[in-house]
């Protein structure tokens, strides 16, 4: 009796080409396999395989009975993955495609199971699986982002009367509505939502039926398969289709931009939550304490959001460096697109949900916000007052600066400078100048579209809600 071969690689889909006695280096086996991360695509791989089998039945490569057996067998394979009973065979199941096909053959017999891969390449298969998986994940992320934006809009409505310092260079600048600050980020996230919808449309294109690189020789109906799998259109060049990972890169570019916005949003809230500012207070569910100092309440959720933005950007940059120099069509380097994609999608999805939770439970202190306002922040209003008297703005800016200087020199708050002191700076001041020193009036003066007046902010809320549709 001939001795049974135990060479590693013997049962691989590509194993017939390799007849050496030594087999693969065991380290190479683990280095090459992707089953322990691409098993995330088990459902998509099965769905794509059923569509593939149906297309082969329609061109006569499978009988009705063979197709029925494949469809029924895959239902059992799917259930095993779902309930956790699927057994991965190390060294044999190098990826999800191999594992599913191997198990299908065990269930329905290798003679029928062996027909499944007719005319198909793993090059198109992995691209199909990734696109199907990513499409659904991005649709879920879209729903998370919409929920977050709804919270921003709702809080902007509820807290529209709160006025607090607006900052440039992290220095007090002008009074604005708290809602205006929230909406400044709200519109950035709304732009992210618009871009995400564009990304989803480009992800949702089918490579199935493109073969290894040259196309399919059996007249497979690619349009029918695409419709069955919910794809909106086809990738029209077989060589480009199997090589394309732009859809992963673009997803990560999108995620990196969103996380940049998320990081800046988190940084503002970290600052506003400090004892020095105390404009907001995080819920205990999104904070931690110190192991040494019992009085501490640390904004760990926001710090992690800020930190994970670097993680997201690194994944994107890493993949771009991987693909930038590889030659056309499929190369194994492209396997490196899967793990970062999986982690990136989870990181971004989790981050949006955390941000939504933080904002939903955030406590604001409008009295502390009001107390942080400073009469110096109305210096521009003095200049605007004089403009309305017919004084050129360049001149009014200089006059307003003199008012600031007098306030500093005398130690007198600017709103308490006397009419005589102001008249001494410029004779065009009238007694009505005292009406300038009103924070509510200041914000209401900024009434042009996009400004911080109540009417303008309410218009922004309306526009933001429309963008969610």
How far is CA 393 from each of CA 247, 379, 385, 405, 453, rounded to the nearest angstrom? 51, 13, 10, 18, 22
Phi-psi category of 303—alpha, beta or left, where left has phi over 0 and alpha has psi -120 to 50? alpha
Our answer to whether residue 290 is catalytic in this structure is: yes
Q: Provide the 10 A C-beta neighbour count for residue 188.
A: 16
Here the tokens at position 398 are 């200089």
For the chain, how many helices (H) and strands (E)?
19, 6
Whether 117 is catalytic: no
Give the integer Cα–Cα distance in Å for 240 and 328: 8
CB 94 within 8 A of CB 32: yes
Give the active site residue among 30, 290, 328, 447. 290
CB 244 within 8 A of CB 235: yes
Is 325 in a helix, a strand, or coil? Answer: coil
Catalytic choice (5, 22, 85, 169): 169
Contact 454, 160 (CB under 8 A): yes
The pair of three-digit structure tokens given for residue 16, joined into one six-digit string = 């017939």
Question: Where would I find the H helices in 114-245?
Answer: 122-158, 178-203, 222-228, 238-243
CB 182 within 8 A of CB 389: no
Stated length of the chain: 469
Instruction: Give Cα 45 distance to the centre of its chain.
Output: 24
Q: Closest Cα to residue 459, out of 448, 469, 445, 468?
A: 448
First to last CA, the chain: 71
- For residues 336 and 322, the answer to whether their CB atoms sit within 8 Å is yes
Q: How far apart are CA 143 and CA 53, in angstroms?
A: 33
Query: In which residue are the tokens 């198990």 written?
Result: 103
Three-class SS of residue 364?
A: strand
Q: How far is CA 25 from the centre of its chain?
A: 39
Q: What is the DSSP string of 209-254?
A: T-TTTT--SS---HHHHHHHTT-SEE---HHHHHH--HHHHHHHHH
User: Known catalytic residues?
Assistant: 169, 290
């Amino acid at each position: 009796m001939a001795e049974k071969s135990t060479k590693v690689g013997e049962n691989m889909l590509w194993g017939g080409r390799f007849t050496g006695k030594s087999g693969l280096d065991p380290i190479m086996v683990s280095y090459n396999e992707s089953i322990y991360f691409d098993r995330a695509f088990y459902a998509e791989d099965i769905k794509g395989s059923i569509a593939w089998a149906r297309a082969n039945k329609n061109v006569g490569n499978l009988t009705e009975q063979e197709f029925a057996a494949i469809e029924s067998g895959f239902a059992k394979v799917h259930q095993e993955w779902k309930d956790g009973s699927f057994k991965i065979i190390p060294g044999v199941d190098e990826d999800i495609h191999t594992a599913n096909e191997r198990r299908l053959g065990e269930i329905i017999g290798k003679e029928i199971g062996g027909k499944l891969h007719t005319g198909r390449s793993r090059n198109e298969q992995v691209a199909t699986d990734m696109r199907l998986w990513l499409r659904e994940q991005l649709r879920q992320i879209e729903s998370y982002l919409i929920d977050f934006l709804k919270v921003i809009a709702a809080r902007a409505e509820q807290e529209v009367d709160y006025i607090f310092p607006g900052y440039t260079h992290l220095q007090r600048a002008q009074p604005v509505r708290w809602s205006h600050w929230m909406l400044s980020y709200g519109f950035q996230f709304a732009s992210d939502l618009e871009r995400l919808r564009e990304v989803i449309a480009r992800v949702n294109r089918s490579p199935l039926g493109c073969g290894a690189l040259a196309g399919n020789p059996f007249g497979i109906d690619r349009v029918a398969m695409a419709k069955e799998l919910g794809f909106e259109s086809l990738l029209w060049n077989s060589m480009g289709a199997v090589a394309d990972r732009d859809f992963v890169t673009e997803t990560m570019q999108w995620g990196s931009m969103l996380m940049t916005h998320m990081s800046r949003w988190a940084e503002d809230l970290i600052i506003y939550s400090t004892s020095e500012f105390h404009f907001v207070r995080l819920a205990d569910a999104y904070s931690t304490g110190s192991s040494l100092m019992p009085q501490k309440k640390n904004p760990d959720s926001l710090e992690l959001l800020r930190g994970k933005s670097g993680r997201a950007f690194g994944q994107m940059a890493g993949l771009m460096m991987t693909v930038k120099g590889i030659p056309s069509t499929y190369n194994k380097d492209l396997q490196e697109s899967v793990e970062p994609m999986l982690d990136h999608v989870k990181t971004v999805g989790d981050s949006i949900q955390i941000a939504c939770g933080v904002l939903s439970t955030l406590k604001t202190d409008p009295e502390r916000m009001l107390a942080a306002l400073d009469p110096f922040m109305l210096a521009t209003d003095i200049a605007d007052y004089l403009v309305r008297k017919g004084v050129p703005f360049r001149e009014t800016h200089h006059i307003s600066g003199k008012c600031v200087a007098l306030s500093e020199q005398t130690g007198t708050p600017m709103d308490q400078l006397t009419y005589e002191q102001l008249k001494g700076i410029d004779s065009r001041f009238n007694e009505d100048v005292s009406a300038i020193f009103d924070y509510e009036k200041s914000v209401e003066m900024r009434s042009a579209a996009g400004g911080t007046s109540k009417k303008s902010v309410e218009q922004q809320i309306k526009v933001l809600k429309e963008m969610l549709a």
